[in-house]
Structure 1
Amino acid sequence: MLAERPLVAIEAEHGVLGALMHSPDECEVIGAYLDVSDFSQEDNGALYALILASHSKKVAPDPITLSEIRAELPSGDSTLVYAAEVMRNVPSAANGRHYAKIVVERAKARRMYDVGQQLMELAMSAGKIPEQVSQAQALVMELNSREDSPDVVTMKEALGPVFEDMQDRIDGKQFMGLEFGLADLDKIVKCLRPGNLAIIAGRPGTGKTVLGMGLADRVATKKNGSSMVFSLEMPYKELAKRSLASESGVSQNKIETGEAILNDESAARITCAVAALSKADIRICDKGGLTFSRICSIARFQHRAKPLDVIVVDYLSLIATDPSAKLQNRNLELGSYTRGFKALAKELGIPVVVLAQLNRGIENRTDPKPKMSDLRDSGEIEQDADVIIMAHRDMDSERGQNGLTEVDVVKVRHAKPDFCVLQFQGEYARFVNAAAADYEDVRQPAPAREHRPSARTMLGVVKGVH
């Protein structure tokens, strides 16, 4: 039989309170990781808050001083009497930090117990099992997400990791972030950093999925990292075919027809590509109708099983509405998703890349180049995203028909927004760097499109004729 652990340690709670009254300087250390909510009794939490408040004002937190701030504790007991008794029963501050760790440990145990109770209630309540499993995972993962790192650090403590990172990069042990492997685009973005939310937007067929999948493939095959792709539109078989074409340089058509393995050269390329992709840690979830909470649940589970380096979601508008969601407006709902993806990126410490559609209205404008306001059902994308990349290929022009794609980085928090031109190779499902000559006239105003009145407009004209 396992030994039982009490969920409450009143003696340790009194011990840390007494220690802080005897040695107020310990507030600097203990206050960094012990929270008011960690105390099991409300009076103890309130007294702890008074001690910290007194110390922050550079006033010694003795019973008289504390009673001046607040005469009575939540229970109605006298602050002076209660604090004096605690201080008298704890003669020394020697074990204060040890007591604080016990209080934190028991608080975590109580949270775990509460989650267990919630899981039992969830199991016995009516509902869809997949959604309930998702909620259960979120509850358990939240326990893990509570870190022991302090809420506040000094600048001296913050500078240490900065120089450690610098040295690791010099030694080649660490990289600033993730690159697309496209020189001109990487010059602008200057790496997707841990915790970044990146949005890749464009109209259908402009290469959003190719850019996102290309990043996921590169992280896994070239950097020995781990990628997670949520493909809400395209089946995993199609993604695998595209990755194989991109990696091997053999056209998708030849792969589809089987012609690729009949030719010695293409067969050799396919063999090498299969070897590289098979060893790569690329995980694909192509389940349709996933809700936002389910996506986050799967991502957290996969990250806990083996840490991920990037998550790609294709695409935002296809995320299903959660049956329990209270938001009636789709824009507000999608805005809550981008906020949630930003929080997920920060929680896991990796970039999250979300693909998004642009409004159809862009096709009817004189200048078809996309703007930030063209983000379809944008919600709060502009505010939440760290990087926003917009892809545009004008298929009415010779350049567009040849695959030249203008990529505008309209927002990047850690660098200056700019644009570049990439060459889209559709048969290989990939982008490559464009030639210098392809930049000529790229920033010239787009020629005005010939205005063609719609049938509805013509009908209005006809009806207006007398």
Structure 2
Amino acid sequence: MAEAARKLNAAETPLYREAPNNIEAEQALLGAILVNNDAFYRVSDFLKAAHFYEPLHRKIYEVLAELIRMGKMANPVTIKTFLPADEKVGEMTVAQYLARLAGEATTVINAADYGRAIYDLATRRALITVGEDMVNIAYDAPVDMSPSDQIEDAERRLFELAETGRYDGGFESFSDAVKTAVDMANAAYMRDGHLSGVATGLRDLDRRMGGLQPSDLIILAGRPGMGKTSLATNIAFNIAASYEPVQQADGSFKAANGGVVGFFSLEMSSEQLATRIVSEQTEIPSSKIRRGEINEAQFEQLVGCAQTMQKLPLFIDQTGGISIAQLAARARRLKRQRGLDVLVIDYVQLMQGTSARAQQNRVQEITEITTGLKALGKELGVPIIALSQLSRQVESRDDKRPQLSDLRESGSIEQDADVVLFVYREEYYLKNKEPKPGTEEYIKWEGEMHEVKGKAEVIIAKQRHGPTGTVSLAFQGEFTRFSDLAEEHHLPERFE
């Protein structure tokens, strides 16, 4: 009896579980598009051919999409020539199958619902793939793969799935790449200032770089005291302050201007960073804010500025010595929860690598960090501004303007970066050379000092998609603020 019951239970247990799919929904959607091509535009912004479960349906959807986008009529007669004629669907030929799909088509109203059902099932199948891989790798883990590496890999794949609806690291057709390039040019034409990237708020720098380009790694380097962090906080504030969200077709928000900024401050606390930004905006020196040497009017100004800043999409992480894997995980999380358009890291030399081999060798560690940042920028599709220290050899030269060879600890910083910017202030070095007052040298020094006072140079030493050169900016040291220099033809009239 017990044996019979065991056999019965075994017979009832299915041999395998089929992946989630809905062939009827796929047929209904394809039929609706065949009858009325407008149905395609109700699903085309989120539904791709790869989301279909049935291979023949993928092929049909691909052909339909191509014909409709070319402005041609797509129906059972026009598309059958682009499909394999000898293939059979049960007893039917492909041509008969297409006619049946169109004949049983539902109304165009349901197209979006069917499309969404197909998309959701494709996402579930992708989740199953990620889950199976996680389980299999955890059971048979390679020797060189630590559990934290596996978590990092799983988190990356899940993030990609959440962002694109399909985990896929394969090839894309050149036509897709060209379409993306044209969309970017169109966005640049429509955006304020005609920039293809995110505007930094510094006119001359934007003009030279076209804004901060998506997925670029931008290294901002300089010796201590040059104002690297000040320039980074200025840019971060400008971007966050000009943020204008616009709703997409799928309900998510995208930045029409400005953007959401993530700031990893490994050197300063979030409170120090906030004090700096408040000082820049209110024009009250940060030293006075810290010591409380402010009057009532200035305090009201501070409170007003703080209230405005609370609404800004600027998020600060003040973890010191963060590893590249932790940073990537937190950036992905921020993008999922709040959105992310620009990432700032202050600064690279304070970060840590993750692999034990890299931690034993500083050059290898920096290589791992810069390669990781470049990959993260591409994955998230955002520009990353990473600050970097320069070596001391700058100080031993007569001309103290930095060069690419001055980047500290690794050639990989220069190699992986899409853009390298150096901040240089002649005033800083000249101030330390003050001669004895009353001498001839002092009069000469005073003239030179007057020439460079309040000026800074941002040297574009490398740029993959634009010219190199120098951009002049104004710098107000007491407020740690960079701004545009007045253009000659905008200056008030002068009488000699």
TM-score of Structure 1 vs Structure 2, range by shorter chain: 0.5 to 0.7
Select the residue among 107, 110, 113 that pairs with 2:131: 113
Match of 1:269 in 2: 301
Q: Which letter maps to 1:220?
A: A
Match of 1:459 in 2: none
Find the aligned partners of 1:161 and 1:335 in 2 and give their Cα distance: 33
Alpha-carbon distance, 1:377 to partner:
2.0
1:222 aligns with 2:242: yes
Higher mean Cα deviation, 403-412 or 225-234? 403-412
* 8 Å Cα contact 1:7/1:110 also seen in 2: no
Q: What secondary structure sits across from 1:414 in the alignment? A: coil
Higher mean Cα deviation, 372-381 or 144-153? 144-153
Q: What secondary structure sits across from 2:429 in the alignment? A: coil
Give the alignment's Cα RMSD to 1 decimal: 4.5
1:412 aligns with 2:444: no
* 8 Å Cα contact 1:231/1:315 also seen in 2: yes
Match of 1:299 in 2: 331
Q: What secondary structure sits across from 1:355 in the alignment? A: strand
* 8 Å Cα contact 2:421/2:458 also seen in 1: yes
Select the residue among 322, 342, 350 that pairs with 1:318: 350
* 8 Å Cα contact 2:195/2:210 also seen in 1: no
Select the residue among 381, 385, 388 that pairs with 2:420: 388
Q: Which letter maps to 1:374?
A: D
Match of 1:151 in 2: 172
Give deviations 1:230-250, integer Å, cap 9, x for gaps: 011111111011011011111
Select the residue among 470, 475, 480 that pairs with 1:424: 475
Q: 1:176 to 1:158 in 2, by over 3 A?
A: closer
Q: Which letter maps to 1:151?
A: E
Give deviations 1:189-234, integer Å, cap 9, x for gaps: 2211222221101111111111111111111123353111001111
Q: 1:379 to 1:331 in 2, by over 3 A?
A: farther
Alpha-carbon distance, 1:168 to partner:
3.4
* 8 Å Cα contact 2:123/2:161 also seen in 1: no
Match of 1:371 in 2: 403
Match of 1:76 in 2: none
Alpha-carbon distance, 1:435 to partner:
5.6
Find the aligned partners of 1:323 and 1:336 in 2 and give their Cα distance: 9
Could you tell me which runs of 5 or more consecutive residues in structure 1 were left unpaired when the two chains were aligned.
Answer: 17-28, 49-58, 64-83, 438-466
1:397 aligns with 2:418: no
* 8 Å Cα contact 2:281/2:305 also seen in 1: yes
1:237 aligns with 2:257: no
Q: What secondary structure sits across from 2:420 in the alignment? A: strand
Alignment of 1:150-169 (within 5 A): 151-154=172-175, 157-158=179-180, 161=183, 164-165=186-187, 168-169=190-191
Alignment of 1:27-46 (within 5 A): 34=50
Find the aligned partners of 2:231 and 2:188 in 1 and give their Cα distance: 29
Question: TM-score under structure 2 normalisation?
Answer: 0.63
Choose between structure 1 and 2 for higher RCO, CA contacts under 8 A separated by at least 6 residues. Answer: 1
* 8 Å Cα contact 1:308/1:350 also seen in 2: yes
Alpha-carbon distance, 1:338 to partner:
2.1
Match of 1:279 in 2: 311
Alpha-carbon distance, 1:160 to partner:
5.8
Q: What secondary structure sits across from 2:281 in the alignment? A: helix
Match of 1:347 in 2: 379
Higher mean Cα deviation, 213-222 or 237-246? 213-222
Match of 1:256 in 2: 290
Match of 2:68 in 1: none
Q: 1:131 to 1:427 in 2, by over 3 A?
A: farther
* 8 Å Cα contact 1:115/1:140 also seen in 2: no
Question: TM-score under structure 1 normalisation?
Answer: 0.67
Match of 1:51 in 2: none
1:201 aligns with 2:233: no
Q: 1:270 to 1:159 in 2, by over 3 A?
A: closer
Alpha-carbon distance, 1:268 to partner:
3.5
Q: 1:273 to 1:320 in 2, by over 3 A?
A: same
Q: 1:208 to 1:62 in 2, by over 3 A?
A: same
Alpha-carbon distance, 1:158 to partner:
4.9
Alpha-carbon distance, 1:366 to partner:
3.1
Q: 1:142 to 1:154 in 2, by over 3 A?
A: closer
Match of 2:196 in 1: 176
Alpha-carbon distance, 1:153 to partner:
4.8
Q: Which letter maps to 2:162?
A: N
* 8 Å Cα contact 1:250/1:269 also seen in 2: no
Q: 1:365 to 1:115 in 2, by over 3 A?
A: same
Q: Which letter maps to 1:111?
A: T
Alpha-carbon distance, 1:252 to partner:
0.7
Q: Which letter maps to 2:344?
A: V
* 8 Å Cα contact 2:85/2:93 also seen in 1: no
Alpha-carbon distance, 1:91 to partner:
4.4
Q: Which letter maps to 2:208?
A: I
Q: Number of residue pairs matched?
A: 375
Find the aligned partners of 2:238 and 2:205 in 1 and give their Cα distance: 15
Alpha-carbon distance, 1:318 to partner:
0.9
Q: Which runs of 4+ in 1 moved over 6 A?
A: 9-12, 59-63, 86-90, 100-103, 118-122, 127-133
Q: 1:299 to 1:405 in 2, by over 3 A?
A: same
* 8 Å Cα contact 1:332/1:379 also seen in 2: no
Alpha-carbon distance, 1:288 to partner:
1.0
Select the residue among 211, 220, 223 that pairs with 2:231: 211
